Chain A
């Protein structure tokens, strides 16, 4: 763990320094870090505060205000179940129950083996193919309550369908 952290510090610096040291770029920096690590390590927040000269408390408040950021690591497969209105009335909440019955995680949680994490999102803007679910960057359209188990099984068996 500690080694990882030291290794990451240089990388984090590189991401941060791609932007000018101004307050208004904090959001963009955080997004890049979130994309790289799937969460915002504490070290990254300290480095951002240091680089921009903003108090740590303000950096922290931005990190916790926006939904896009997580302060704890996400799983290898991050499942986002859309709970926008169109998906909701097409029973997306059943999908969440199905995931719980299969993986025993609720939104915001990660499986102990670090394989899957689950979150709900407000709307992926793909309402015409509701209910939708995203696993990492792959969109799964019209997911049925039995189909979801197949999808999870596919990922669990290591069938990484990243392009």
Chain B
């Protein structure tokens, strides 16, 4: 009996974001469900919830036990019975499932004690990982829809002014002041207005929108409702990438639940206000993230952008004034209205208020989603929250802003992250991808990668983007293949400037950024490819040769085991060597060696 009493209100939260699901969290969740059911007297008291992404995908599947505040990492279905026996029934901690700090070697009980979480400030992600996204009551328990309720007591113009006062700027990349967009839409003469949520997250390396749509769909609905109330719109659309199947599923359920509770439809909250939301699944075209292209796509046209002689807030969907904001922007709205603009604006820098969610990925120890106040330095994000570079390697650059952004070198690690500072460094905020690169990343190849991406995604409507990107890609490809010529860099710069100046939409205008920023900060690396025919990072295959340093090699055999081409020769405990005729230059040996014995281009290069 005592035991049961203690269990009243206890929760088992299993992270079921895409990252954890891939690591098997669904099986863990089901194991909890079924095994708890069979424990007499407990099943009614302990609730098991599948939550959205906690952002710490590296250590998934994650299981949190509340109110004990215990976080278990890398949980397997086989661990479930131990957790139930020890933690749920006996109130003890299962030490071996706690995170072990690699530096102090100590086990850490709660994720709240980790640097990864401690330095973060959650606003847009406030509910994610804490609630069951499929439960509208979970959302309501955490002040959900109270901001909407408050908005009903405000005049439309006051709601918009509150958003203007908060200083919120669009989180999708452009950084346009959100409130001004709303005001512009509000002031148009029109009989119909529309609201759009841009969830066509296309930047490779960014997944905060997916996480919000999956993990807290109601915050988006509430944000859109508040805007609809303010500008006088009656219909809204959420445009989601179809690849994000879990996001589509959770949004659809949330919309239905909101309708059932009179939060969407007619007479919302008993007031004379009608608004409904429809989901549009995108067809996988990067350019559709551009707002005019997205609007064309919703209308049933090919998703090509148009020149912006007028803004969507003047003439958007079906020619009507339309407010289109990004997912993360919408997630901030209920907080701004609920807690007031002043509180929101108390965080951040002069011209960039609030927080920003970054997806911290690449060669960093702790990968995942992090939300920090604007103005946090890159160093804090990468080294304090991210825990530094994998395998203790040297930091080389961080790429921000997706394909339209640029690479920022080590000299600028103390840069404060906000819209303006990133632009000044030749990059951009974009949607908030932070891709950390180490000495094993080739900057020329990174530029080639982005241009290859953009060449495939250019819709082809305007010539400078379609042809310019293709030609830049051609030059970069030949540099990577060791066929670069003198004069190539000047030609690249020339082309880049032209594409930047005369392209029709944002895709083309920003496409040269990866090239220009890498040329600006890593010119020697380009020259090494062209003049010395060497890829210093050991990535460009034609310019790379791996060999094993006989002094450092201990003959442990790890490289041999990881080599997919079977090209490493050597007996156990004897010095190994690489048969370069069979080597596919994948670099598995470099990554697996613990003694830095595999060296790149250190013998005579080709």
Instruction: List residues of A whose CB falls within 8 A of some B CB.
Output: 22-28, 30-31, 61-62, 65-69, 83-86, 88-91, 94, 97-98, 121-130, 132, 137, 139-141, 144-146, 149, 163
Which of B's residues lie within 8 Å of A, judged by CB? 18-19, 21-23, 26, 55-58, 60, 201-207, 210, 242-245, 280-286, 297-303, 359, 361-363, 367-369, 399, 402, 433, 435, 437, 441, 446, 449-450, 453, 457, 459, 562-564, 584, 586-588
**Min C-beta distance of A163 to chain B, whole Å:** 8
Can you report 21 A-B residue pairs in the complex whose CB atoms are below 8 A from each other? A23-B300, A25-B300, A27-B280, A27-B300, A30-B283, A65-B459, A66-B283, A86-B435, A88-B204, A122-B202, A123-B206, A127-B207, A127-B362, A127-B433, A127-B435, A129-B22, A129-B58, A141-B22, A144-B588, A145-B586, A146-B563
Kindly list the 5 A-B residue pairs having the minimum CB-CB distance in the complex, ordered from nearest: A66-B283, A84-B204, A128-B57, A23-B300, A125-B207
- Contact in complex: A85, B435 (CB < 8 Å): yes
Choose one: A67, A128, A137; the contact of B285 (CB below 8 Å). Answer: A67
B23 neighbours in A (Cβ, 8 Å): 129, 141
* A89 & B435 in contact (Cβ 8 Å cutoff): yes
- Nearest CB to that of A97 among chain B residues? B584
Residues of A within 8 A of B284 (CB): 66-68, 121-122
In the complex, what residues of A have CB within 8 A of residue B60's CB? 129
Say which residue of B21, B203, B564 sits within 8 Å of A145 (CB atoms). B564
Assembled-state Cα–Cα distance A126/B58 (Å):
10
Closest residue to B450 on the A side, CB-wise? A85
Contact A66 B285 (CB under 8 A): yes
Complex Cα gap A69–B282 (Å): 11
Answer whether A85 and B368 are a contact pair too, CB < 8 Å, given A123-B206, A125-B201.
Answer: no
Residues of the B chain whose Cβ atoms lie less than 8 Å from the Cβ of A67: 283-285
Q: How far is the CA of A128 from the CA of B369 in the complex (A)?
A: 8
Query: Is B362 within 8 A of A125, CB to CB?
Result: no
Q: Quick one: which of B22, B202, B302, B437 contacts A126, CB cutoff 8 A?
A: B22
Q: Using Cβ atoms and an 8 Å threshold, which residues of chain B touch A124?
A: 18, 243
- Asked if residues B588 and A132 are in contact (CB atoms below 8 Å), the reply is no
**Given B26, B285, B441, B453, which contacts A65 in the complex, CB threshold below 8 Å?**
B285
Q: Closest Cβ of chain A: how far from B206's Cβ, in Å?
A: 7
Residue of B nearest to A149 (CB): B564
**Are A128 and B300 touching (Cβ within 8 A)?**
no
The residue in chain B whose Cβ has the minimal distance to the Cβ of A23 is B300
Q: Is the CB of A128 within 8 A of B242?
A: no
Given A65-B303, A86-B204, A86-B361, A122 contacting B57 (CB threshold 8 A): no
Chain A residues with CB below 8 A from B562, complex form: 144-146
B-chain residues with CB within 8 Å of residue A85 when the two chains form the complex: 204-205, 361-362, 399, 402, 433, 435, 446, 449-450
Residues of B within 8 A of A141 (CB): 19, 22-23
Name the distance in Å between B518's Cβ and chain A's nearest Cβ: 13
Given contacts A24-B300, A126-B18, are A89 and B244 in contact (CB under 8 A)? no
Contact B361 A98 (CB under 8 A): no
Interface centre among A24, A61, A86, A141, by most chain B C-beta atoms within 10 angstroms, is A86
A139-B204 in contact given A24-B299, A65-B285, A125-B210 (Cβ < 8 Å): no
> Could you tell me if A122 and B21 are in contact, using CB atoms closer than 8 angstroms?
no
Query: Complex: how many Å from CA A149 to CA B362?
Result: 23
B588 touches A145 (CB 8 A): yes
Hey, which chain A residues are within 8 Å of B281, CB to CB? 27-28, 31
**Which residue of chain B is the closest to A61 with respect to CB atoms?**
B302
Question: Can you name the residue of chain B whose Cβ is closest to the Cβ of A84?
Answer: B204
B457 nearest in chain A by CB position: A122
A residues in contact with B206, CB < 8 Å = 123, 125, 127
A83: nearest residue on chain B (CB-CB)?
A: B204
In contact, A28 and B280 (Cβ under 8 angstroms): yes
CB nearest to A145 among chain B residues: B564
| Smallest Cβ-Cβ distance to B60: which chain A residue | A129
Residues of B within 8 A of A145 (CB): 562, 564, 586, 588
A62 to B285, CA, bound (A): 11
CB contact between A125 and one of B244, B283, B285 (< 8 Å): that residue: B244
Contact B207 A123 (CB under 8 A): yes
- Decide if A69 touches B210 in the complex (CB within 8 Å): no
Query: How far does the Cβ of B114 sit from chain A's closest Cβ, in whole Å?
Result: 15
Shortest CB-to-CB span from A69 to chain B, Å, is: 7
- When distances are taken between beta carbons in the complex, the residues of chain B under 8 Å from A130 are 361-362, 367
Complex contacts, B207 vs chain A, CB 8 Å: 123, 125-128
Choose one: A62, A126, A149; the contact of B19 (CB below 8 Å): A126
For the complex, give the distance between the alpha carbons of A141 and B361 in Å.
Answer: 14
A122 with B588: CB separation less than 8 A: no
Contact B446–A27 (Cβ < 8 Å): no
Contact B564 A98 (CB under 8 A): yes
* Given A66-B282, A127-B362: 4 more A-B contacts, CB < 8 Å: A124-B243, A127-B206, A128-B207, A128-B368
Q: In chain A, what residue has the closest Cβ to B460? A: A65
In the assembled complex, the CB of B149 is this many whole angstroms from the nearest CB of chain A, namely 33
The reply to whether B204 and A128 form a contact with Cβ atoms under 8 Å apart is no
Answer whether A62 and B302 are a contact pair too, CB < 8 Å, given A84-B204, A86-B205, A86-B435: yes
Please state if B283 and A23 are interface contacts (CB–CB under 8 Å): no
With A146-B562, A146-B564: A128-B19 Cβ-Cβ less than 8 Å: yes
Given A85-B205, A85-B433, the answer on whether A27 and B399 have CB atoms closer than 8 Å is no
Task: Output the least CB separation between B564 and chain A (Å).
Answer: 4
Taking each of A69, A85, A125, A141, which has the highest tally of chain B beta carbons within 10 Å of its own beta carbon?
A125
> A156 to chain B: closest CB distance in Å?
17
Shortest CB-to-CB span from B99 to chain A, Å, is 15
Pick from A23, A24, A139: contact of B18, CB under 8 Å: A139
Pairwise interchain contact A140-B300, C-beta atoms closer than 8 A: no
Q: Are B449 and A126 in contact (CB under 8 A)?
A: no
CA–CA, A130 and B206, complex, Å: 12
Q: Is the CB–CB distance between A65 and B302 below 8 Å?
A: yes
- Asked if residues A122 and B22 are in contact (CB atoms below 8 Å), the reply is no
Q: How far is the CB of A35 from chain B (nearest CB, A)?
A: 9
